[in-house]
Amino acid sequence: MTASQTRLMLVTPPVSDAEAIAFRLMQAFAGGDVAAVLLRLAAGDDRSRIERVKRLCGPVQSNSVALVVEGSALIASRGGADGVHLTEGPVAIREARSSLRDERIIGAGGLRARHDAMDVGEAGVDYVMFGEPRPDGSMPPLPAVIERAAWWAEIFETPCVAYAPDAASLPALVETGAEFVALGEWAFAEDQDIRALVEGANVAIAAFAARKAGR
């Protein structure tokens, strides 16, 4: 997961039906460039969760998109995913790095302060994410996410992901210089044209890149 300009990450709702989400992801990929899918899994035993990951690896990876699984390095690796996304802090990051070595992506979220981000960065993550929903479902203020993503992108080499709470926030988050912008659960709503959303987001990214190149 490297980027010369901002690219998109899709963050799924909790997935219990792999077939249904695969269909929505194919619609999204038809809209243009997507770098990665962050797969959130609904509750279940390890075996059923691994099977869901395996079912999604083919269609996602065949489109040159990385599949990252939230929460469990074991399920990510046994399911054949490209990486794992963790929110438990630097100790969990180091444990995952020890077991996965450098073979898979390790990302970090749940970062509430600058020092949290720096701590996981030092622990060896491949990206940090700012702005995703809190455990209670509430969203961080958008201006704070913009500030945090711009700060990180300017100073650190480790890529960052800025989580977009809605389509209207995309241009401002792209302008932070974040390597990735994430479209969350809202992008998968039944009334959302996810293909058009991805297409529009890539247009916004290209427009910013053109303005930046012309400076």
Question: Using one digit for the tens of pLDDT, what is the confidence trace for 1-59?
Answer: 555 689 999 999 999 999 999 999 999 999 999 999 999 999 999 999 999 999 999 99
Query: N- to C-terminal Cα distance for the chain?
Result: 27
- Asked whether the whole model's pTM tops 0.85, one would answer yes
**pLDDT, tens digit, for every residue of 79-130?**
999 999 999 989 999 999 888 877 899 999 999 899 999 999 999 999 999 9
Q: What are residue 66's DSSP bridge partners?
A: 36
How far is Cα 127 from Cα 70, in angstroms, rounded to an integer? 13
DSSP-based three-state secondary structure for 212: helix
Q: Closest by alpha carbon to 36, among 173, 213, 163, 204? A: 163
SS3 183: strand
The yes-or-no verdict on residue 215 having pLDDT over 70 is: no
| Ordered DSSP codes for 147-183 | HHHHHHHHH-SS-EEEEESSGGGHHHHHTTT-SEEEE
Whose structure tokens read 């012309």?
A: 214
Q: What is the pLDDT of residues 188-205, one digit of tens each?
A: 999 999 999 999 999 999
